[in-house]
Chains A and B, each alone.
Chain A
Amino acid sequence: MNIRGSRPPEAESKPVQVVAPVISNVEIAPSIFRMSLSAPGIARSALPGQFVHVVCHDAGNHVSEGSRNSGLSLDPLLRRPFSICRVDRSGATIDLVYQVVGRGTEMLSRVAPGEAGRAGAVDILGPLGRGFDIPRSLAGEDAAGRALLVAGGLGVAPLIFLAYALAERQVRADVAVGARSRDLLWGIDEFELLGFGVELATEDGSAGARGLVTELVERRLCESLGGHGAPTVRYAAIFACGPAPMLAAVARLAGERGVPCQVSLEERMACGVGACLGCVVKTKAGYRRVCADGPVFNAADIFFDSDGLDFDPGASDAGVLHEAGMPDEARLSDR
């Protein structure tokens, strides 16, 4: 059953497993890396909000076919899911952004650019999952309203991909980004280059407003109702990615104001393709798989108070570093 309701059946892009050459793998903020991979098939078919499932190992990610198994890395065993941050369809590359939070991501951060089938290539599976649904009502001059993108920490990644798609469709959008401190902010310039206004919040006040990104969202939604007389902005959709407590707060605000809201979720994941039922979240229709029924869900369908959603990758990235995968932010909102 499709609990997305309004959403048409996916024109689903067929996932592929490829050993993708690493074009670049650069630390863009403390412990945060941006990796660019040559993956023409995935670059061509991926949709905003989809992810790739990545073998995280620095000792070569390829296995020789046949009976011998040299080169097969079994520890860490599971792939790690990362949201696609950007696709360059002409250059046939995809960008991933990840934070080093465990052994797998630590190994991934050491992979240097190289060639397919050799060191310097990464075994990836994708594109996977159901991404953001961009309603037609958002586009054009007679749009029902603007879009509001809300990101916490690494949650910026899928929203950058989404921002490119929104810009292509001439959707007007505002962006709110939160992080613990100024040095952990990244990707802001990409939103701005697309012509979207970005508002910032940091926990320590080192950039933008001091506090949580959800406070920015609350103010914007009040303004959009014409809080102080002037009807300023009307939001017709919210797209959010970040730690679960942030998403819960955004979902509540959106619900109160009647603004449709889509959230990208994370949960410990094994197969990534929908087979193992490991990564479920509690929805109004029962448990649903983050990897195949999500990672993007309608916020109104999610029970944010369920056990699994107080998710914290903690000191390990064991099969858990989903697209948002941000231990700092998750802890930040635990208080």
Chain B
Amino acid sequence: MEQPGISKPEPDLRVRIGSIQLKNPVMVASGTFGFGEEYSRFYDLEELGAIVVKGLTLRPREGNPPPRIAETPAGMLNSIGLQNPGVEAFIERELPRLRGHRVPVIANISGDTFDDYFEIAERLDGVPGVAGLEVNVSCPNVAKGGLAFGLDPDSVYKVTRGIRRRVRTTVIVKLSPNAQDIVAIARAAERGGADAVSLINTLTGMVIDVERGRPALANISGGLSGPCVRPVAVRMTWQVARGVGIPVIGMGGIVTGRDALEFIMAGASAVAVGTGSFVRPRAALEVVEGIRSYMVEKGYASVEALRGLAWRS
């Protein structure tokens, strides 16, 4: 109970994912934050819990033809198609600058084959400045790999197990909401040795341009993100967090602290802001502040005290 004259203690926002110590539970989601440079013009990146960089592949990828973006009610579709400079260019050109910021950097990786995943994971393991790997088994916008892996528990087990055996760093597996049973996929990742799972990636969707009578995206379909997906993401976070013993990183339409608290109360140990940064460049910091002020207001001392709170109801 509050006592007059005694200031409330500063809540402890730190969380741990694998061997990564985060100063707060708020990360920025892969593909929404580039390699950090753009948003470093708006705030100090060290204020973030972690940065998950744009998805990397072994070799450079050109990505899909435009249009790549379509707006939807309270959301958007994208079909970027994993445009990225390749893992070597990331290590040479982007990582040195990122290392200058004292914030954990998590490399998001994709491949077309199991061997691709293993090779890129080994290449990044132990590279100074890479705090961990997020394995993208769920990109809806590339023809092979990606989503195909993410829908099948056996493939997710195999890719996770293969990476786990090859690397020492923290391994996070990013799950697709397009899977029939996301809990089964999460358990496969856990059995394969993942330190954590993150969810959700985008939901596959489509917009038709009625004026022109054709799909709005050149790629025909794309990944749905933004506040419109949040209820789906919260439900899946709830199910997965109750179904596995490893930490869950929840994301999907988070713009405010309240949005993030839904995920934490559903069982997430940490959260990520994605599309929200497009709308409000400082959204991730506003989420940190929102969580902190809620904890102060309600007297919660740690994030762990809030985690899964809604389960008790």
Shortest Cβ distance from residue B148 to the other chain A in the assembled complex, whole angstroms? 22
Interchain CB contact (< 8 A) of B83 among A66, A268, A280: A280
B310 interface residue, CB < 8 Å from A? no
Query: Residue A72 at the B interface, CB < 8 A?
Result: yes
| B-chain residues with CB within 8 Å of residue A77 when the two chains form the complex | 71-72, 74-76, 226-227, 275, 279
- B 259-287 contacts with A by CB, 8 A: 259, 261, 275, 277-282, 286
Contact A267 B67 (CB under 8 A): yes
Does residue B239 face the partner (Cβ distance < 8 Å to A)?
no
Contact of A274 among B38, B62, B257, B286 (CB under 8 A): B38
Does A10 lie at the interface of the complex (its beta carbon under 8 Å from any beta carbon of B)?
no
User: Could you tell me if B277 and A275 are in contact, using CB atoms closer than 8 angstroms?
Assistant: yes
Residues of A within 8 A of B157 (CB): none
* B209 contacts partner chain A, Cβ-Cβ < 8 Å: yes
Which listed residue, A267, A275, A287, touches B33 by the CB 8 Å rule?
A275
Question: CB < 8 Å: which of A267, A275, A282, A311 contacts B34?
Answer: A275
- Min C-beta distance of B284 to chain A, whole Å: 12
Using A66-B293, A318-B71 as known contacts, say yes or no to A276 and B210 having CB atoms under 8 A apart.
Answer: no
Question: In the bound complex, do residue B256 and residue A273 qualify as a contact, i.e. CB atoms below 8 Å apart?
Answer: no
Q: Let me know if B69 and A270 touch, CB within 8 A.
A: yes
CB contact list, A65-80 vs B, under 8 A: 65-69, 72, 74-79
A55 to B283, CA, bound (A): 14
> Max chain B CB contacts within 10 Å: which of A67, A276, A307?
A67
The answer to whether A69 and B76 have CB atoms under 8 Å apart is no
CA A15 to CA B42, docked complex, whole Å: 8
How many A residues touch B, CB cutoff 8 Å?
48
A114 at interface, CB cutoff 8 A = no
Known: A271-B277, A276-B31. Is A14-B256 also a contact (CB below 8 A)?
Answer: no
Indicate if the CB atoms of B68 and A67 lie closer than 8 Å: no
Residue with the greatest number of chain A CB neighbours at <10 A, chosen from B32, B70, B72, B282? B70
Q: Determine if A292 is an interface residue (Cβ-Cβ < 8 Å).
A: yes
Is B280 within 8 A of A275, CB to CB? no
Task: Determine whether the beta carbon of A314 is less than 8 Å from that of B211.
Answer: yes
Known: A17-B42, A72-B255, A125-B281. Is A276-B71 also a contact (CB below 8 A)? no
Contacts of B71 in A (CB 8 A): 76-78, 316, 318-319
Task: Give B164 Cβ to nearest chain A Cβ, in Å.
Answer: 30
Residues from chain A with Cβ under 8 Å of B255 in the complex: 69, 72, 74
Is B73's beta carbon under 8 Å from chain A? yes
Contacting A at CB under 8 A, from B189-228, are: 209-212, 218, 226-227
Does A233 make an interface contact (CB < 8 A)? Answer: no
Q: In the complex, which range does the number of interface residues on chain B fall in? A: 35 or more
Q: B162 in the interface, Cβ–Cβ < 8 Å?
A: no
Contact at A282–B277, with CB atoms within 8 Å? no
CB atoms of A69 and B279 under 8 A apart: no
Query: Do residues B211 and A312 form an inter-chain contact, with CB atoms below 8 A?
Result: yes
How near does chain B come to A303, taking the closest CB pair, in angstroms?
11
Q: Which residue of B lies closest to A12 (CB)?
A: B41
Assembly CA distance A286 to B62 (angstroms): 7
A299 adjacent to chain B (CB < 8 Å): no
Q: Does A205 contact B (CB under 8 A)?
A: no
Give the distance in Å from the alpha carbon of A197 to the alpha carbon of B66 in the complex: 37
Let me know if A277 is at the binding interface, CB within 8 A: yes
Contacts of B297 in A (CB 8 A): 67
The yes or no answer to A269 lying at the interface (CB within 8 A) is yes
B66 lies within 8 A of A67 (CB): no
Contacts of B227 in A (CB 8 A): 74, 77
> In the assembled complex, how far is the CB of residue A311 from the closest CB belonging to chain B, in whole angstroms?
8
Asked if A281 is at the interface (CB within 8 A of a chain B CB), the reply is: yes
Contact B63 A78 (CB under 8 A): no
Contact call A272/B67, Cβ cutoff below 8 A: no
Q: Does B114 contact A (CB under 8 A)?
A: no
B38-82, CB under 8 A of A: which get 1 and which 0? Answer: 110110000000000010000000110111111111111010100
In the complex, are the beta carbons of B279 and A78 less than 8 A apart?
Answer: yes
Contacts of A17 in B (CB 8 A): 42, 280-282
Q: How far is the CB of B209 from chain A (nearest CB, A)?
A: 6
Instruction: Judge whether B290 is part of the interface by a CB distance below 8 angstroms.
Output: yes
Report A-chain residues with C-beta under 8 Å of the C-beta of B282: 17
Contact A307 B259 (CB under 8 A): no
Closest residue on chain A to residue B31 by CB atoms? A276
- Also in contact, A315 and B278, with CB within 8 A (given A77-B76, A277-B68): no
A15 neighbours in B (Cβ, 8 Å): 41-42
Q: Quick one: which of A282-334 are within 8 Å of B by CB?
A: 282, 286-287, 292, 306-308, 311-312, 314-316, 318-320
* B144 CB-CB contact with A under 8 Å: no
Task: From B54, B212, B280, B291, name the one whose CB has the most chain A CB atoms within 10 angstroms.
Answer: B280
Chain A residue numbers with a CB within 8 Å of B41 are: 14-15, 273
Q: Do the beta carbons of B65 and A278 come within 8 Å of each other?
A: no
Q: Which residue of B lies closest to A78 (CB)?
A: B71
User: Would you give the shortest CB distance from B39 to chain A, in whole angstroms?
Assistant: 6
> Are A74 and B74 interface neighbours, CB within 8 A?
yes
Q: What's the minimum C-beta distance from A268 to chain B, rounded to whole angstroms?
A: 4
B binding-site residues for A, Cβ under 8 Å: 31-34, 37-39, 41-42, 54, 62-63, 65-76, 78, 80, 83, 209-212, 218, 226-227, 255-259, 261, 275, 277-282, 286, 289-291, 293-294, 297
Between-chain CB contacts (< 8 Å), 18 pairs: A14-B41, A69-B256, A69-B258, A69-B259, A74-B255, A77-B226, A78-B76, A267-B67, A271-B277, A273-B39, A276-B34, A277-B80, A282-B65, A307-B66, A307-B67, A312-B212, A316-B209, A318-B70
A77-B226, A282-B65 known, 8 other contacts, Cβ within 8 Å: A67-B293, A77-B75, A268-B68, A270-B78, A308-B68, A316-B71, A318-B70, A318-B71
